[in-house]
Copies of this chain bind each other. A is one copy, B any other.
Amino acid sequence: MDPKKTRGRGRSIPPDKANESWTLEKVAKYAGVSPASVSRVLNRPEHVTPGIKAKVLSAFKELNYIPHGGARALASRRSNMIGAVVPTLSFAIFGSMVQALQVRLYDSQLQLTLASSEYDLEREFVQAEIFIARRVDGLVLIGGDHHPELYELLARTKTPFVNTFSYSTNPDRPSIGIDNARSTYELTSHLVELGHSQFGFLTSPIKGNDRVSGRLRGVRTCLADNGISFDDDRIIEVPYELSEGRNGFRALIQSFPDMTALVCSTDVLAFGAMLEAQEMGIGVPDRLSVTGFDDLDFASQIRPKLSTVHIPSRQIGVRAAEFLLARIEGRTVPMNTHLDADVLIRGSIGTAPKKGAARFTFGT
């Protein structure tokens, strides 16, 4: 027998198993096999004899070997990472999508890495660029409004990506999401049927956010279809914060004391508005109907319950993962998939108060 391969199986230099930085090559030597075999048990264990596999596996354990991700990415031209850039980490709605995404990717041996843009398209671009520099295998984005250069970058680098939360039909911009305009249209219709004609729209910043602008479009279209006038000064834009919902509502009701229906672009602002209304003695839904969007936990817990639109965010996460997996593996998949969003009519809306009766007077 070859003495090198008998006893000791190459355990020549194990000075300190713990404090060594083990590389695939060293592990191979330690296990008495070739580097290629070690690589195989890492990547295609089924193509390896049980005997060798066992040796390598036990070497892994003994040496606490951890393969170098960067080196693997370099050699294989695949990073096994998917990047996601979300607008914010401060609201639950993206959290549940991301969680579902993560779990689904994990099942396929892909790791999710996350960054946030703080609702800033420039920052979103920078974060995406960093991900691309890491050669992520795919990218998940929120919405379809992005820096023009980002779309160019994506195309140039051929990075698979998918827009989420808002549905589009553009075949060059894969998307998985809901129809924001349609859902809001529906919500607004209910209000119209209840006799409302004095509307207000309270929203977080619209620029660069197609979900929000879609919702605004839904309101506009619905009111136009019903011959209800809706001037731009009935739209008030505030930062995405609970307290700003209060402020926005106060400003709006001061300008339009006869407003009886308030449509909010998101639950958070609706909560703020409801809290302020309550404080001002404006009854919801008796004198004012309020709607939101997102169906956050609070929506069904506060009283009255908030009428809103439920976004299937877990579904979106799962679908996004599966879309990217398909693209990465070269399978063909529909570029755009529409998901249904349930419109939830709850206690926060009611029939429009009779003319005059609704008018809120200050200082009374």
Q: Which residues of A contact B (CB under 8 A)?
A: 18-19, 64, 66-74, 79, 88-92, 94-96, 98-99, 102, 111-116, 118, 129-130, 132-135, 153, 156-157, 241-243, 246, 271-272, 275, 278-279, 297-298, 301-303
Contact = CB atoms under 8 A, between A and B. Distances in A.
Given A297-B243, A298-B242, A71 B69 contact: no
A89 B94 contact: yes
A90 B92 contact: yes
A66 to B, nearest CB: 5
Contact of A246 (B99, B116, B301): B301
Q: How many copies does the complex hold?
A: 2
Nearest to A245: B301
B111 A114 contact: no
Given A68-B135, A242-B297, A279-B303, 15 more contacts: A19-B156, A66-B157, A68-B133, A69-B70, A70-B79, A89-B98, A89-B99, A90-B99, A99-B118, A102-B115, A112-B115, A113-B115, A114-B114, A243-B297, A271-B298
Contacts of A79: 70
A32 to B, nearest CB: 24
Contacts of A71: 70, 74
Among A69, A153, A241, A278, which residue has the most Cβ atoms of chain B within 10 A? A69
Contacts of A113: 113-115
Contacts of A275: 301-303
A115 to B, nearest CB: 7
A157 B22 CA distance: 10
Give 4 nearest A-B pairs by CB, closest first. Answer: A90-B95, A89-B95, A70-B73, A114-B114
A88 B95 CA distance: 8
A42 B111 CA distance: 28
